[in-house]
Amino acid sequence: MIEDRRGFLGGIASLAGVGAGLVAPVRAFAKAATGSGATPGAMIVSTWDFGAPANDAAFARGRSGGSLIDMVEAGVMVPEADPNNHSVGYGGYPDRDGHVTLDAVIMDDAGNVGAVGALEDTVHAISVARAVMEHTPHTFLVGEGATRFARDRGFPHVNLLTPEAEKAWRDWLKTQNYKPVANSETGTYGAGRPGTPGGALDHDTIGMLARDASGRMAGACTTSGMAFKMRGRLGDSPQVGSGLYVERGVGGATSTGLGEEVTRTVGTARVVASMRHGMSPQAACEEAAKHIAALRGDAIKGMQVGFLAMDTKGRIGAFCLLPGFTYAVTDAAGHTRVEKAPSLFKA
């Protein structure tokens, strides 16, 4: 049934409003990728160092004829399937009751969107989110309903709690220290303690944006959420306008860090609205982060929030509260680099 879903693109133009958003950009991306009439600027951006291999997978999917939605799905599936990435998908750290729950959203610039929250026993939450978009009248399914929908669509049951993640959870139970640590995704926990990308005691996501040569865009965001969170907790990642927002003719934005602070301000919708009114992606990301800082004051001390944005011309913006947020950029030739975002505070 999963293969049937992937083959659905052949007849997708019959869905009202979806065909133009998913199918039309394919040819334009191929033109840019081959260098014939290529447009300058970024084609794919994603959060954190582990966004680099995700971008490469997304680019390869586009180069082979995939749509923008195909690209962002294929890209974020890479960290979703990586058991060594403890902030996304398989191998993600569980909630405080020992359940690994996943959140994801996928969206194109025509307003087609699908999302899942608190999904269990399914590796690729982003693909289930896409199935919500393509096969239901809804935009968001959560909890037991989302998991049942995944089974109905043929997604296999997989135990997401790896031995390493279970050990970390049982170690956490001894202290129950519920404080997230900023920037563990880059390989350190706090003051120089060794760690791994998406490491323990933190929470995070991969957010990805892709564009074609004509300026059409799509995005995806997926996460296992805050490590050892309360059961039922949803962060910003699966919520349209918080973890991800894409708008035709303007651009898109995704967020990372402590999701509660992004949801308070509907952060990515704010970034895109600022771009719509003439701000550059960089200025829009800075405005959104500074707004959080001004609104929350001492309540966000030591907490990380970052925004990443791209407009229809491929101009990028990235900004965060604390130093350490990185992002991956892929150009029209397929070259990928990792950059560090400027921050509001020094530490």
pLDDT at 10: 33
Do the domain assignments include residue 347?
no
- Please, which pLDDT band fits residue 180 given cuts at 50, 70 and 90? low
Say if 184 falls within a structural domain. yes
Confidence of residue 175 (pLDDT cuts 50, 70, 90): confident
| pLDDT tens digits for range 73-127 | 999 999 999 888 888 998 899 999 999 999 999 999 999 999 999 999 999 999 9
pLDDT tops 70 at residue 260: yes
205: domain range? Answer: 2-6+42-340
240 pLDDT more than 50: yes
Pick from 322, 133, 108, 105: nearest CA to 234: 105
Dig out the tokens for 106 from the structure.
């996928």
| 12 belongs to a structural domain | no
Q: Is 95 inside a domain boundary? A: yes
- Scan for tokens 């194109």, then name that residue: 108
| Distance, CA of 76 to CA of 221 (rounded, Å) | 7
- What confidence category does residue 203 fall into, taking pLDDT thresholds of 50, 70 and 90? very low
pLDDT band at 4 (very low <50, low <70, confident <90, very high): very low
Average pLDDT over every residue of 272-292: 98
- Six token digits for residue 288: 């959104």
139 belongs to a structural domain: yes
pLDDT of 181 reads 53
Number of domains present in the structure of the chain: 1
Is 19 a domain residue?
no
- Pick 59 or 192 by higher pLDDT: 59
Which has the higher per-residue pLDDT, 201 or 262? 262
- Going by their DSSP bridges, the two strands 244-247 and 217-223 should be labelled as unpaired
In a domain, 28, yes or no: no
CATH number at residue 98: 3.60.20.30
DSSP letter for 3, please: H
Asked whether 204 and 223 are in contact (CB, 8 A), the reply is: yes
Q: What is the pLDDT of residues 23-71, one digit of tens each?
A: 444 444 544 443 333 346 889 999 999 999 999 999 999 999 999 999 9
Q: What is residue 182's predicted lDDT score, i.e. its pLDDT? A: 53
Judged against a pLDDT cut of 50, whether residue 249 lies above it is answered with yes
Instruction: Pull the structure tokens for residue 3.
Output: 């293969």
Alpha helices by DSSP H, the chain: 2-6, 19-22, 25-33, 51-63, 68-80, 125-135, 143-152, 163-175, 259-263, 267-276, 281-296
The verdict on whether 175 is a catalytic residue reads: no
Annotated catalytic residue within 47, 101, 186, 205 = 205
Mean pLDDT value across residues 154-170: 94
Average pLDDT of span 188-215: 60
Q: Residues 75, 96: contact at Cβ < 8 Å? A: no
Confidence band, pLDDT 50/70/90 cuts, at residue 179 = low
Q: How far is CA 119 from CA 30, 104, 108, 185, 268, in A?
A: 34, 9, 22, 22, 23
Average pLDDT, the chain: 85
CA distances from 175 to 170, 227, 281 (A): 10, 14, 41
Q: What mean pLDDT is predicted for residues 239-268?
A: 97
Higher pLDDT, 176 or 262: 262
Domain contains 108: yes
Higher pLDDT, 139 or 201: 139
Mean predicted confidence (pLDDT) in 212-222: 97
